[in-house]
Structure 1
Amino acid sequence: MASLVYVCVRPQQGAAAAEYESFRTAAHLEPGELEQWDLVRAPLPDDAFERWRGFMVGGSPFNVTDPESTKTDVQRRIEIELARIARSAATAETAALFTCFGIGVVTRALGGSVTRGYPEDTGPSTVSLTDAGRRDPLFGGLAPAFTVLTAHKEGSAAAPRGAALLATNAGCPVQAYRVGDRLYATQFHPEPTTRAFTERMAVYRDDGYFAASDYERIAGEVLAASVTEPNRILRAFARAF
């Protein structure tokens, strides 16, 4: 059984390869300690929960709130298979950390609602730990408030019933939560450096996250930000699982 696997849900292979490296580096893992599975191009293997101890799920340009009529067969399959991972982690059959697009899948899979009412602009944002966050094994060592990187068009209206809300802010109240002891989800991106984030921005500059003409200004704001705390979540997850 390998330690962990990064699950790619980005159709853009270059962005996915860079995201894998961001996860691996942030978690302080060697290549052999973090495998890769491209869920866009291959279904989850039948032995996934025997093969890997835990899952790190990357972001995606998909949105769970996209009208069903506009979703491709690939997107529908990805949502079904990520929901399978989420339910397995919620019942402690595995461990998983979902990010950005993934938190929407988890919220919906566990009976919550996702809405277009809580988008956040591309760039740095500040989140604060809740009381539960300050007590959490992964989040408890972080600063009470810290800078994160965001870029999303939807958000959870509320954490799923029974979840512990770990981090919040005014723009998108559900920034991170835990279900049980082994399932974590973050709305923000915990993995990239500021440089890696600007490179990802370049890939998606025409996808409606920001005006393409604003790229240089937003990239400058990102590069000037300090995002030391989010990486620590991934290191703690890797140590724990």
Structure 2
Amino acid sequence: MLPFLLIQTRADDAVAADELRSTTELGGFGAGELTTLRLDRVLDAGRPASGPGVAALDWAAVLAGHSGVIVGGSPFNSSDPDELKSGLQVSVEAELGRLLDVVMDRDVPFLGACYGVGTLGAHQGAHVDATYGEPAGAVTLHVTEAGRQDPLLAGVEPRFTAFVGHKEAIRALPGHAEVLVAGEACPVQMFRIGAHQYATQFHPELDLEGLLYRLEIYADHGYYDPAEAEELFARVRAATVTEPRKVLDNFRRRYAR
């Protein structure tokens, strides 16, 4: 079997390691079935500067050796004003844009979690902004009619609880996108482009241990009010989150080759 590729954009080594742990466990990946690519390291490793027209990676060659691509969460927001983006963020976005060019051209299976909504959505013409941001926590979502027919949601309950925490979200999708999961505070929680490219606003790759760890690490990054941390942590611990991992597991099962 060709491994799947987890692309990470977090510069924090400990958080990236925990993301790999939770993705591996929740997706049911065995030894050698999930490889990682730390895009922040690639772009800081002395390679040619990545920007418009300048590629750091041969994505066609990279993807040829993998069953599919997973993009994890990120400290970056696609909808940030350009003047506020760091040089690394600009390079990461340019590189992910080139990745998605190849993904769409070659119909490579793709699953973007949280940050994947902004990357895949923006690439496909969606309007991404802060209108439907959600504070960190657990929310109730529902599977749409289209979602009930989609193989990545096989076995997922019609209504389920998931972990979220994001400053930006999809405000409007292009006509060729299909909404698969929706929420009250954030209408687009999962969508599909074509037959094999997906993005979720919720976190199928994040368990309770990982969420609590990230909440501690990113306490001052605006995902929640630090003064309410104790109450937030208690609510998160009390939530029963069983369904989102099925999306990740279904992705692995469907596209392993």
TM-score scaled by structure 2? 0.89
Q: Does the aligned pair in 2 maintain the 1:134–1:141 contact within 8 Å?
A: no
Q: Deviations over 1:170-198 (max 9, x none)?
A: 11101000111210100111112112211
Distance in 2 between the 1:3 and 1:197 partners? Answer: 26
Distance in 1 between the 2:142 and 2:236 partners? Answer: 19
Q: What are the within-5 Å matches in structure 2 for residues 98-113 of structure 1?
A: 98-113=112-127
Partner of 2:29: helix, strand, or coil? Answer: coil
Match in the other structure for 2:4:
4
* Runs of 5+ unmatched residues, structure 2: 44-55
- What is the aligned residue count? 241
Q: Does the aligned pair in 2 maintain the 1:90–1:182 contact within 8 Å?
A: no
Q: Does the aligned pair in 2 maintain the 1:166–1:176 contact within 8 Å?
A: yes
Q: Which moved more, 1:194-203 or 1:227-236?
A: 194-203
Match in the other structure for 2:130:
116
Distance in 2 between the 1:115 and 1:240 partners? Answer: 32
Distance in 1 between the 2:125 and 2:175 partners? Answer: 8
Match in the other structure for 1:67:
81
Give identity over the alignment, percent: 36
* Runs of 5+ unmatched residues, structure 1: none
Q: Which moved more, 1:60-69 or 1:37-46?
A: 37-46
The structure having more radius of gyration, on CA atoms, is 2
CA RMSD of aligned residues (A): 1.5
Match in the other structure for 2:226:
212
Q: What are the within-5 Å matches in structure 2 for residues 72-221 of structure 1?
A: 72-221=86-235
- 1:81 deviates by 2.1
Distance in 1 between the 2:99 and 2:191 partners? Answer: 16
- 1:45 deviates by 3.2
Q: Does the aligned pair in 2 maintain the 1:24–1:31 contact within 8 Å?
A: no
- 1:150 deviates by 0.5
- 1:146 deviates by 0.3
- 1:92 deviates by 4.4
